[in-house]
Amino acid sequence: MDQKKKKSYLINTAAIALLYLLFFVLIQTKTINNYFVGIMIMTCIMIIMALSLNIVAGFLGQMALGHAGFMAIGAYSSAMATKAIVDAGIEMPSILLLLVALLVGGLVAGIFGILIGTPTLRLRGDYLGIVTIGFAEIIRIFFINFGPTGGAAGLKGISKLVDFNNVFFITVIVAVLIFTFGRSKHGRAIISIREDEIASESAGVPTTIYKVLGFTMAAFFAGLGGALYAHYQAFLEPSKFAFMFSIEMFVIVVLGGLGSLTGSILSAIVLTVLPEMLREFSEYRLLIYSLLLIIMMIFRPQGMLGRSEFSLTDFIDKLIMRKNRKTTSDGGEK
């Protein structure tokens, strides 16, 4: 680890701590009400969903339109797990219970990622898109008809374990892990498949393995997102995980910039908060939202940040020292 890296780690850690402190004070002093805290929790969950989808859509460069399916699997499986633990009367601190929920949700979704990814990843582009839509629909319809999880009426009585404090740090950890994943040799191999699959294979990269790995990682983190969602809402219904929800996540990723994690974070914040802010305009809400998307795609088709990452370190360098911006940006998860 060289000096520059250390500095950038320090700056980012400080920035995250400051951000948390800011929200903490705002919540404690009741400057922001519970309704807004709810939006912030949902934003964090959507950030996790967008980041995980970015592994497939951005790094691997594949069209995946069934992300809500993996989220549903994570949500239901983790909810069933914690319900079973609570019903069995096993006492454990809520943070531990949440960890169990995350682990179960992530792993079960990850296993489904391997199961779905292995046979379908020989398809690409729109064909893969259609298959993933089909998969997500099967999951949704399964949960509508599956008695033990409440069917169409929904699953009630899930322990509410998620609050802003833990969801904030889980989001930060997920963001950091996906970021470091993208910059490891595994991430590089996955990105090389997006760039040119034939060249990647000729460079000695086992492309099939890495495609499945990328897909599985995305499913795993989507499962985490689902687990958080289940234990925040304390209630699950299959209709939430419909096709439009997958599309919504895809839109977030595209708008932030395919392959840009900071872009995904930014765009998840904007696209989750914006519809809430537009509530005052009630009937024009969806119109404004759609119009913004269209304008964005016309004037900036590569997304807010394109493929580049926003680096806080470079930003500060530029601001204070008026240094020339380096092309090699590292650090800057938030």
Q: Is there binding between residue 185 and other proteins (CB under 8 A)?
A: yes
Contacts with other proteins, 123-162, as mask; x by CB under 8 A: ----------------------------------------
Smallest gap from Cβ 308 to other proteins, in A, equals: 10
Q: Is there binding between residue 6 and other proteins (CB under 8 A)?
A: no
Smallest gap from Cβ 67 to other proteins, in A, equals: 21
Q: Residue 82 or residue 313: which is nearer to other proteins going by CB? A: 313
Q: Token match 């374990």: residue? A: 161
Pick from 156, 300, 307, 325 the residue near other proteins by CB under 8 A.
307
Pick from 25, 138, 152, 199 the residue near other proteins by CB under 8 A.
199
Q: Is there binding between residue 3 and other proteins (CB under 8 A)?
A: no
Q: Residue 45 or residue 189: which is nearer to other proteins going by CB? A: 189
Torsion angle defined by CA atoms of residues 93, 94, 97 and 98, in that order, rounded to the nearest 10 degrees? -140
Q: Is there binding between residue 191 and other proteins (CB under 8 A)?
A: yes
Percent helix, strand, coil in the chain (nearest 5)? 75, 0, 20
Contacts with other proteins, 78-117, as mask; x by CB under 8 A: ----------------------------------------
- Both tokens of 35, joined, read 């309704």
Q: Is there binding between residue 205 and other proteins (CB under 8 A)?
A: yes
CA angle 156, 160, 166 (to 5 degrees): 150
Q: Could you please report the per-residue DSSP string of 266-284?
A: HHHHHHHHHHHHGGGGGGG
Beta-carbon neighbour count of residue 117 at 10 Å? Answer: 23
Per-residue burial over 32-67, b if 16 or more Cβ lie within 10 Å, else e, is eeeeeeebbbbbbbbbbbbbbbbbbbbbbbbbbbbb
Give residue 70's Cα distance to chain centre.
Answer: 11
Pick from 8, 43, 82, 192 the residue near other proteins by CB under 8 A.
192
- Give the dihedral sign, CA 194/199/203/204: positive
Residues that bind other proteins (CB under 8 A): 1, 177, 180-181, 184-189, 191-192, 195-196, 198-207, 213, 307, 327-328
